Every structure is written in C-alpha cells, then in structure tokens.
Structure 1
Amino acid sequence: MQNLILIGPMGSGKTTVGKQLAKRTRMDFVDSDHMIEERCGVSISTIFDIEGEDGFRKRETKMLSELCERNGIVLATGGGAVVSEENRILLRKGFVVYLKTSIETQLARTQKNQNRPLLENVDAETKLEELMEERGKLYEQEADLIVMSGERIVSKVVDEIIEALEK
C-alpha cells in the first residue's frame, strides 16, 4: 500500500489531519519530527540549539529515508522537509498531499507552541512569510494533491483527501 505523505508549513495541520486520515484509512500514523525527538531523546529545539539547522536537516533526511521505506503509513513531515532535493526524491515514493494554509492561520496555531525553533527570537509573521516565499513553490511542485486546510474542520479536509484517493 502506498504511503500518504503530508507536507506543508508549520501550523498547517499535518499532525492533526494525519492522525484522522490514518484512522479513516486504517493505516499507521507517523510524524517524522516526533520520531526524530524520540530517537534523540530531546526536542527539535534542543537539536537546533546543539547542532543548528544543518544538523537537524541531516537527521530529518535520515529519518525520512527510513520512514519512506515503510508501506501503508500516513506520514506527517516537518515544514522544511521539502527544502532538500534528497528529501523531495524520498517523498515522491508516496502520494504527497500539500496542506495549504494562510500565514494568519499559521500564526494562530504556532504562537503558543514553544517547540518551533525557527520562530524563536524573531518576528513570527515575517519569518513565516519568508519561509513560505522559500518553500511555497516546492510544496506545490511536489504535491499530488493540494488541499486547503486553514480554517476548515479537520474531518472535511480528510474527506477531501479520501475522495481524491478514491478517484
């Protein structure tokens, strides 16, 4: 069974949608960032503090390489997974769904979460806009399906993905 891979910016709902999608499709749910934290025994923020973004990205690629070898999973990726060409090649092994959302929704969903190292000590809105400028085209380029996730009810987003898969 082909993997369903969710991509999109932080705060787009990849984990929340992924869990419901996995339940509805009777597939296992895996969050690559959570798997990295579990394996390292520390938070993503701590990895960024110690190894920097480059160190984290190497760990991310290694984890994605392992996870994309599995079959029949719903995989929520980190927001920056698409930046690396190596990662994009790995993600193409599955059916890629881009959860598209507005900067306003991202701000609302990320403002209380302390485990967002790219948003530490910066103007969050400006940083999210910069990240979208850098990554937006990559999300669209890699997507087999683009779904607006923003302010929608999660079950409706999941319904749309499942309907597309059935076609």
Structure 2
Amino acid sequence: IAELIARPGDRVLATGGGAVLRERNRELLHNGATVLYLRSTPEDIFRRLRHDTTRPLLQVRDPLARLRELHQQRDPLYRRCAHYVLESARPSVHALVNMALMQLELAGLLDPGRVAATVGAEPL
C-alpha cells in the first residue's frame, strides 16, 4: 500500500477486505489517499456471494454468521480509515460510480469536465 500510494498520478486502489486490519495500512490509506468506504450489510454481501466458492473465509458451515462477525470487526476500522462512506447496498455499478464521483466532485477533489471525459474513455 505504501508503495502504491507513493507513486505519482491518479489511480483507484481497491484493497482486500483484510487490509484495514493492520493499523499501518489504515494510517497510510487515510493520510495518503482519499478513501471511499463502499459499505454493505452482511446480508447484502451474502446475497452477492452465496454461490462463490473462491473465498476461503466464507467456506464455513454458516457463511452469513461469518460475514456478520467480519462486519462487526471491520466496519469500525473502515469507518476510521474512510473520508467518505457510501452505502452500496443495491445500486447498480453505474449508480455507485456516479455516487462516488459526485461525492469527490462536491469535495472539490475532481474536475467535473475531466471526470466525464475519463469515465467515457477508460473502464473503471
């Protein structure tokens, strides 16, 4: 994370769920980047991932209970690290991207003209 944040230029860094468990990672992210926490409930995550067999932490007898445990542990850490929290329960990817862009634009972190050109020109 330190290496990626130190690189010049704009980028989107999507960390793994456990990245916030390390205090150093939270400090690096909060102090070196603009952090958007795309927050979902354990139930929403379960609906999206219930058939996913590639996530080792969810290969347990009760994946929903495991998601609730992880959420209870990690949600406060994400909130401390984040500059903005976006509820991502049900919007489409397009709507969620627009919510994130709007939040960053309102904060003065994005030029609206540049964002429209970038969104149309490159995949997010």
Match of 2:19 in 1: 81
Between the two structures, name the one with larger relative contact order (CA 8 Å, sep ≥ 6): 1
Shift of 1:143: 1.0
Q: Which runs of 5+ in 1 are unaligned?
A: 1-63
SS at 2:24 equivalent: helix
Give, in whole Å, the separation in 2 of the partners of 1:124 and 1:68. 33
Give, in whole Å, the separation in 1 of the partners of 2:65 and 2:11. 34
Choose which of 92, 113, 119 in structure 1 pairs with 2:58.
119
Give, in whole Å, the separation in 2 of the partners of 1:139 and 1:152. 20
SS at 1:104 equivalent: helix
CA deviations on 1:108-129 (whole Å, 9 max, x unpaired) are: 1112222211111341011000
Q: Is the 8 A contact 2:40 2:87 kept in 1?
A: yes
Match of 2:10 in 1: 72
Q: Which runs of 5+ in 2 are unaligned?
A: 107-124
Structure with higher strand content? 1
Match of 1:100 in 2: 39
Shift of 1:66: 2.4
Match of 2:104 in 1: 165
Report the RMSD for the aligned CA atoms in angstroms.
1.3
SS at 2:53 equivalent: coil
Q: Partner letter of residue 68 of structure 1?
A: I
Match of 2:76 in 1: 137
Query: Rg: which structure is higher?
Result: 2
TM-score where L is the length of structure 1: 0.58
TM-score where L is the length of structure 2: 0.77
Q: Partner letter of residue 27 of structure 2?
A: I
